Amino acid sequence: MQMKYWFTSILAFGFAIAAWGQQSAPPPAKSADSGPTLAATMQFIQEKLSEQGKVGWAENLNNQTAVTRRKFVQLTDIMADPAACTLYATETVDSSIDAARGKTLSMGGKPINADDFRTHTVETETISFKQVEKITVEKIQDISNKVLAESAHPEIMMTVTPPVFYVVLSASSAVFSFHFSTTTGNQTPVEKDTTGKANYLAFRDEDTANHVAKAMIHAMELCGGGVTKKELF
């Protein structure tokens, strides 16, 4: 998802999360001089991403106990092209808000319907391993709470159920390209093309996320990606 989450912003009734951090890295991959070929590595990545199916989770904030945000993400049409060192995919993201019975939702002091927060996004994305500089595995809950703390709201904590993990691909410049078609409530779909410095792929378990991240690091190295910084001072 820049989905990546775009990366993505989380709207929690007036509180927006507009950036995601990075925390932990998966085990290091083998040297580019050894291990599987690029073709075999890209095929492994394609198969593992296709096997994920729909990944869903619920988000709850401790200051919004009567409200739950639900999100479902699925990757389809995944194609790994070793000749171009590029991964293509379509990602569908469905997000909705559930409120406890008797709870009135409002924004700006005005009552709103939960359907106003229901969104359906179809995103096509392109990832070039030649341009990826860093790959990490992140726990969504940890990322969200870090962003909340950095936004001067350490008192607000998010709980993500069940635990879900992102493989985060990042670069120092906007090398990832995305096309979005987003429908909010009953409104007309909005089309948008954009680029970003990070791309986020959802996994339901950490072990699979680490295996895919390791394969992606190997692909990145074989494609000439990654960064090596020299100590200048």
pTM above 0.85, yes or no: no
pLDDT for 17-27, tens place per residue?
333 334 444 44
Residue environment code for 59-93, b if the CB has 16+ CB neighbours within 10 A, otherwise e: bbbeebeebbbebebebeebebebeebbbebebbb
Which tens digits make up the pLDDT trace of 40-79? 999 999 999 999 999 999 999 998 888 899 999 999 999 9
Give domain limits for the chain.
2-21+29-133+148-222
